[in-house]
Structure 1
Amino acid sequence: MKKLALSLATCAAVLLPIGAITLPTAAQAQPVVLWAKTPPPPPRAERVPPPRRGYVWAPGHYETRGNRYVWVRGEYVRARPGYAYRSPEWRERDGRWEYSRGRWDRDGDGVPNRNDRRPDNPRRN
């Protein structure tokens, strides 16, 4: 029994610092950026459903999963008063393709910063 407790304590001591270093906290959270070597396929044509009051249409887009592109269908997301929705996008940079997730922008510059008041925080009121 002592051997089991000792080995569990050793594993916890080894894994705890790794988790503390690699897991981001809410204060460090930033938009997810993915990289790909090949460009994404052309966007698919999507039929946009009729507008819904209090919601914004988030268009469909490609994401990478493993080594391939996967289409993510568009959907309505709840509107946030005072914020503008920025669609997910792919941009070429230094011969690689960079993906930025959709996000909310308060000051209209398209860059998440302190002026946006943490719009992507799911626990905000």
Structure 2
Amino acid sequence: MKKLAVTLVMGAASFLTLGTAAVAPTSAMAQPAVSVHVAPPPPRHEPMPPPRRGYVWAPGHYEWNGHRYVWNRGNWMRERPGYAYRAPEWREREGRWEYHSGRWDNDHDGVPNRYDRRPDDPNRS
């Protein structure tokens, strides 16, 4: 009986921990996932290939692998009609460099749709 009570308590604790973990990231979703003290190297020159019907060119960029910057070559992405592609970028903020991943934006205002209060308004000021 004592073993069953311990198992039930442990199970409840695990359930609460998982439930809390599922909610916790929502407050941090608007924050960049990567922030480092070291500035990224200058972008590499990468020739853009000729246009390809139905595709958008995503330029190469640096990503942080936890220890150093690693170059990711440019690639073709299938076009999403009505959306503009925003390339990944590094932004300096208070002495740290923050990585903002590439994204699709359907009203061309530069705000990722998941954070945009009016994602379908192209006349937003």
Which piece of structure 1 moves more, 86-95 or 42-51? 42-51
C-alpha contact (below 8 Å) 2:32/2:98 kept by paired residues: no
Counting only pairs closer than 5 Å after superposition, residues 73-84 of structure 1 correspond to structure 2 as: 73-84=73-84
Deviations 1:14-48 (A, max 9, x none): 54234323455xxx965844211011011112233
Q: For the residues of structure 2 that align with 1:2 and 1:10, how far apart are their CA atoms?
A: 12
Which piece of structure 1 moves more, 3-12 or 33-42? 3-12
Counting only pairs closer than 5 Å after superposition, residues 1-125 of structure 1 correspond to structure 2 as: 9=11, 12-13=14-15, 15-24=17-26, 30=30, 32-112=32-112, 113-116=116-119
Deviations 1:64-113 (A, max 9, x none): 11121111111111111111111111111111111111111222221121
Read off the aligned partner of 2:96 and give its amino acid letter: R
RMSD: 2.8
Larger Rg computed on CA atoms: 2
Please state whether the residue corresponding to 2:41 is helix, strand or coil: coil
Deviation beyond 6 Å, 4+ runs, structure 1: none
Q: What fraction of aligned residue pairs are identical, expressed as a percent?
A: 53
**What TM-score results when the alignment is normalised by the length of structure 1?**
0.72
Unmatched 5+ stretches in structure 2:
121-125
Specify whether residues 54 and 32 from structure 1 end up closer, same or farther in structure 2 by C-alpha distance, changes over 3 A only. farther
Unmatched 5+ stretches in structure 1:
118-125
Q: For the residues of structure 2 that align with 1:94 and 1:81, how far apart are their CA atoms?
A: 37
Residue 7 of structure 1, CA deviation: 8.0
**What TM-score results when the alignment is normalised by the length of structure 2?**
0.72
